[in-house]
Amino acid sequence: MRTKQNTHKKLTTKRGLAAFAIAAMVAVPLTACGSSDSEGSSDSSASASAPEPVAAIDALSGTSTAIALDTGFTDALTSLKLTPGVVGDAKLESGSLVFPITGGNVTVFKPGTVSPYVIGQIQHEDSGLSLTAGDTEVELTNLNVDPGVSRVYGDVTVNGKVAATSAYLFKLDGRTLEPLKTEGDNAVLTGTKVEISDVAAPLLNDTFKTDAVEPGLLVGIATITVNTQ
């Protein structure tokens, strides 16, 4: 009985690692998988029996998403006289923003069986990034990664007042993603690009009275570390 339990635990861990590895490869925008040319239509998918996922993590717990800030982004902040900072449990250390992972889930299906084939979320509640210029402070908090659409959503406040909730803040491009690494009980993926979205750019421009923030501006490279137990 103990052998079976140990084997089941190992399989569960491997499935969790696989789920996270595929989900983090949000690099290739998964919306492309949902085009009309993809195998099978949404109607045919709906009429067929629901496919079984190939891997899943039902409850994410720890550890963090770190973004190594690109010099182009920090130079842009300097030119705009914007000072970056952190909110809540986030940290800014060694040139990286670090947001603790507080929850979420990831489910992966065989590509072609459903679209998108990666669904779920990676939550970072009670932490975020601040940008300050003079008397104006913008906070981007409660970041939520949606691997199904390669997007990061979050709440926006300006001088303490809510400007938007669950706004589309960043887009993700993982075509430069490095192979999955394991460190003890953790799975580590690095290489995904984090870029300013076409929703966040005009919002920041309007707030700080500029036109210098462009959609697609590279914020930095993400390293996601998740506990697999």
Q: What is the mean pLDDT of residues 193-200?
A: 96
More confident residue, 72 or 13: 72
Q: Are strands 63-69 and 96-100 parallel, antiparallel or unpaired?
A: antiparallel
What mean pLDDT, rounded, does the chain reach?
82
Enumerate the β-bridge partners of residue 47: none
Least reliable range by pLDDT among 62-66, 138-142, 194-198? 62-66
Measured over the CA atoms of residue 161, residue 163, residue 168 and residue 171, the dihedral's sign is: negative
The whole-number average pLDDT for the span 197-217 is: 94
* Three-state DSSP state, 208: helix
- What pLDDT, in 10s, does the model give residues 51-88? 888 777 888 887 899 999 999 999 999 999 999 999 99
Mean pLDDT computed over 206-214:
92
Say if CB 226 and CB 184 are below 8 A apart.
no
What integer pLDDT is reported at residue 20 of this predicted model? 56
- Read off the pLDDT of each residue in 39-45 and give the average, rounded to a whole number: 45
Residue 134 pLDDT > 70: yes
The mean pLDDT value for 150-163 works out to 96
Q: Confidence band (pLDDT; 50, 70, 90) for 10?
A: low
Average pLDDT over residues 25-37: 40
Which pLDDT score, from 0 to 100, does residue 218 have? 97
128-133: average pLDDT? 97
